[in-house]
A = this chain, B = another copy of it.
Amino acid sequence: MASTQPARGMRDFLPREVRKRDYVIGIIKQVYESYGFEPLETPAVENIDTLMGKYGEEGNQLIFKILKRGEKLVQSASFSLSERDDSIPLNELADLALRYDLTVPLARVVANNRNELPKFFKRYQIQPVWRADRPARGRFREFYQCDVDAIGSKSMTVEADLLSAISEIFLRLGFKDFVIRLNSRLLLDGIMFVSQIPAEKRVAAITIFDKLDKIGVDGVTKELLDLGITERSVETLLYWTTREHYFALDGKLESHVPSNDAVEANKDKLDLIYRGFKDFSSENQGKRLGTKAIDGLRHIISLTENTAARNHIKIDASLARGLSYYTGTIMEINVPDLAGSLGGGGRYDGLIGMFGKEQIPACGFSLGLERILVVMDERGMFPAEIAESAPADVLVTIRSDETAAESLKLAQELRSSGLRVTLYPEPDKLGKQIKYADSIKVPFVAVLGESEIANATVAIKNMKTGDQQTAPRSEAGSLIA
């Protein structure tokens, strides 16, 4: 007897769960469409070379790899046998891999279809991705990403458009307290310069720094020191990026909850950091990067003043984002009652060039469906008709084998008046059929016994009130509402 469990870290979704997921996906799609984003779909399986090397070393290991087939596998295995010098030949056993995110496939598609796609390509994509991560509460090996990306422009209106769309989604879902943290990799680069962190250690430093939320200032400090960064550099980096900096500069307190004067607060904060850069007049490249980044962030803040994002953006110089392909703006959306983020994104002007001849700028945002669902479930945010969905509006009974065809006909009549109709599948005692209808929470039962058939009527039972009304067949639909 085979196991009945889904694979480790994977989940089956029973109808009620699917309906909740479809409800959220429906709103996300609707908003993306209203911003002129178009749907794209890519295969779950990619050539292994398409994915390897795009997500850093840890990413490489978390990619699910698909075994070669037939003769190719035998050949590779023989090669692995003879050449075996530990782990390298094992990679030769796989030629395909499961999609790890939706951004790298997008970059591949854009490079592959440059002539068919518009100059500015705005696409959304809502599909599952797979990561061989250690499963944990809220962390799965198969999960949905809801991505939105704008390809082809370096303009900051792209960022503003994305921030507005994302905010609108959360507002429509019923969230009021979400915050989109906003930073720029350029600003971080500038701060790295200013902190005199050597160029070759900056990527590693960003990866460590990205864990600030998880391991705190002490953890980050330790790991940066272990990386060989001097104490003075670590201090400077943390001074600039965490709130102490703003305290130190101006004594201002940040609030996590967005406020009605978020625009002014963000502008003030950018001014503070800008002044900080001016003080470091000795470090020219850091200063140039930092002030350029601040100009960009300022522009984004003013572009979003009249959009849904207005009071939900928070400039946060400590935001790093883990993925290696970001080149400019980075963003992340949070709510107070969830430790991780509900999604994030940023600008990646170099990734598409890895697949094509052309460097094409791009910026996007990815929402994590599962985390949104977790928070909505905990807060009870689903409308009643989604949370308590019944499989049908009415159940039609079957009296006997002889009357079954008539029950099928009645079901069809009721469907043509727009109802969702399910049929009890076999002749059975009426009591059992009613009891079953109750168990699946169908609100009405259409009883078709011999007398009803003889009189061309049907008895409609309201399962909530227990009332039963007999009516001509043609009027049955109108009794169900």
A5-B47, A164-B412, A303-B404 known, 12 other contacts, Cβ within 8 Å: A2-B50, A12-B42, A15-B38, A34-B421, A35-B411, A36-B395, A45-B141, A61-B69, A74-B90, A120-B424, A157-B423, A164-B408
The residues in A between 138 and 167 inclusive whose CB is less than 8 angstroms from any CB of B are 141-142, 150, 152-155, 157-158, 160-161, 164
If A12-B112, A423-B161, A425-B157 touch, whether A96 touches B3 (CB-CB below 8 Å) is no
The 7 closest A-B pairs by CB, nearest first: A36-B422, A10-B43, A15-B38, A4-B112, A155-B426, A36-B392, A153-B425
Interface band, chain A: 35 or more
* A326 on the B face (CB < 8 A): no
Q: In the complex, A398 Cα to B161 Cα: how many Å? A: 13
Is there an interface contact between B117 and A93, defined as CB atoms closer than 8 Å? no
The residues in A between 54 and 91 inclusive whose CB is less than 8 angstroms from any CB of B are 61, 64-67, 69-70, 73-74, 77, 80-81, 84, 87, 90
Is there an interface contact between A73 and B90, defined as CB atoms closer than 8 Å? yes
Is there an interface contact between A34 and B426, defined as CB atoms closer than 8 Å? no
A115 to chain B, nearest CB (A): 12
If A15-B38, A34-B421, A426-B157 touch, whether A142 touches B45 (CB-CB below 8 Å) is yes
Which of A305-313, A373-381, A445-453 lines the interface with chain B?
A: A305-313
Q: In the complex, A107 Cα to B303 Cα: how many Å? A: 53
Which of A122-130, A183-191, A341-349, A464-472 lines the interface with chain B?
A: A122-130
A282 contacts across to B, CB distance below 8 A? none
Q: In the complex, A312 Cα to B302 Cα: how many Å? A: 62
Residue from the list B7, B36, B46, B80 in contact with A46, Cβ < 8 A: B7
* A431 on the B face (CB < 8 A): no
Q: List the B residue with the shortest CB-CB distance to A64.
A: B66
* A219 on the B face (CB < 8 A): no
Is there an interface contact between A6 and B43, defined as CB atoms closer than 8 Å? yes
* A22 on the B face (CB < 8 A): yes
A424 to chain B, nearest CB (A): 8
